[in-house]
């Protein structure tokens, strides 16, 4: 079945460092891909999405490009802030539109 | 506008008791989803509603779990004879009628603890 694999955390960075969180997927068909974020004490919220190959999703300085050839959707940010500390979930939606999530990656940014 | 709301926010129950969790989706959203977030299992899909019908119940872990949706709006997830492994945060999400890659909007969750 469809699945999402993302890098184990925690990822620990200093403020203004470059961030990459790897995400790869296995799917039949052509899923939409998402990054969701969960800030401490808050609910899940959409960070960005891409619905077809080569699309780039972007929001709040974060970017991810839908790469069909490598089945990847890596999350990047050029300069992280302390306020970016959260758990990041990569996900795909299948034909029924249910979300299949990766295990989540905790990001900790220190000043 | 109002987002997805869930109640109760926290629930502590004794093993063997039944619990009901409620979800109020965003007005006008026809699709509604239940997920479970637990320490050992990450985020798992449970069930999906389109209107009042549930075309995908594949994620319900056992026959102790059931869900219904009435009036194309409110949904209730019922867990019968709760077990300690049911302890988790139960998340509800809704999405608008358009199909294909639509954003799901999540509620704050119900944190269930089974003693």
Task: Specify the residue for token string 């299992």.
Answer: B41
For the record, the structure tokens of A96 come out as 């029924």
pLDDT value at residue A91? 95
Q: Check CB contact under 8 Å for B108 and A93.
A: no
Q: What is the pLDDT of residues A46-97, one digit of tens each?
A: 999 999 999 999 999 999 999 999 999 999 999 999 999 999 999 999 776 7
pLDDT value at residue B101? 61
Q: Check CB contact under 8 Å for B95 and A97.
A: yes
pLDDT value at residue B94? 93
pLDDT value at residue B56? 87
d(CA B6, CA B109): 6
pLDDT value at residue B100? 60
Q: What is the pLDDT of residues A14-47, one digit of tens each?
A: 999 999 999 999 998 889 999 999 998 888 999 9
Q: Give the residue-averaged pLDDT of B34-39.
A: 91
pLDDT value at residue A42? 86
- Chain B residues inside the 8 Å CB shell of A104: 42-43
Q: Check CB contact under 8 Å for B48 and A97.
A: yes
Specify the DSSP class assigned to residue B97. Answer: S
Q: Check CB contact under 8 Å for A98 and B59.
A: yes
Q: Is the pLDDT at B93 greater than 90, yes or no?
A: yes
Three-state secondary structure readout of chain A: CCEEEECCCCEEEECCCCEEECEEEECCCCCEEEEEEECCCCCEEEEEEECCCCCEEEECCEEEECECCCCECCEEECCCCHHHCEEEEEEEECCCCCEEECCCEEEEEEC
Q: Nearest residue on chain A to B107, judged by CA atoms?
A: A43
Q: Is the pLDDT at B2 greater than 90, yes or no?
A: no
Q: Give the residue-averaged pLDDT of B37-64.
A: 89
Model confidence at A98, in pLDDT bands (50, 70, 90)?
confident
Q: Is the pLDDT at B1 greater than 60, yes or no?
A: no
Nearest by CB to B101, from A32, A44, A103: name it. A32
- Which span out of A32-41, B12-21, B27-36 was modeled with the highest average pLDDT? B12-21
pLDDT value at residue B20? 98
pLDDT value at residue B82? 97
Average pLDDT, chain B: 91
């Amino acid at each position: 079945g469809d699945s999402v694999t993302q890098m184990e955390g925690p990822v620990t960075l200093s403020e203004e460092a470059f961030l990459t969180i790897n995400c790869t997927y296995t799917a039949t068909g052509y899923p939409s891909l998402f990054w969701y974020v969960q800030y401490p004490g808050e609910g899940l919220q959409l960070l960005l999405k891409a619905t077809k190959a080569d699309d780039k999703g972007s929001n709040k300085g974060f970017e991810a490009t839908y790469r069909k050839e490598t089945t990847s959707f890596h999350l990047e940010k050029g300069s992280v802030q302390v306020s970016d500390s959260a758990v990041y979930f990569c996900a795909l939606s299948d034909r029924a539109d249910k979300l299949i999530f990766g295990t989540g990656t905790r990001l900790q940014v220190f000043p | 506008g109002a987002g997805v709301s869930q109640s109760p926010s926290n629930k502590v129950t004794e093993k063997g008791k039944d619990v009901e969790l409620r979800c109020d989706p965003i007005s006008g959203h026809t699709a509604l989803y239940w997920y479970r977030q637990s320490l050992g299992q990450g985020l798992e899909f449970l069930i999906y509603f389109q209107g009042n019908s549930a075309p995908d119940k594949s994620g319900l872990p056992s026959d102790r779990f059931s869900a219904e949706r009435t009036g194309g709006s409110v949904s209730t997830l019922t867990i019968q004879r709760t077990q300690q492994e049911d302890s988790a945060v139960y998340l509800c999400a809704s999405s608008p009628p358009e199909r294909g890659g639509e954003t799901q909007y999540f509620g704050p969750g119900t944190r269930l603890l089974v003693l």
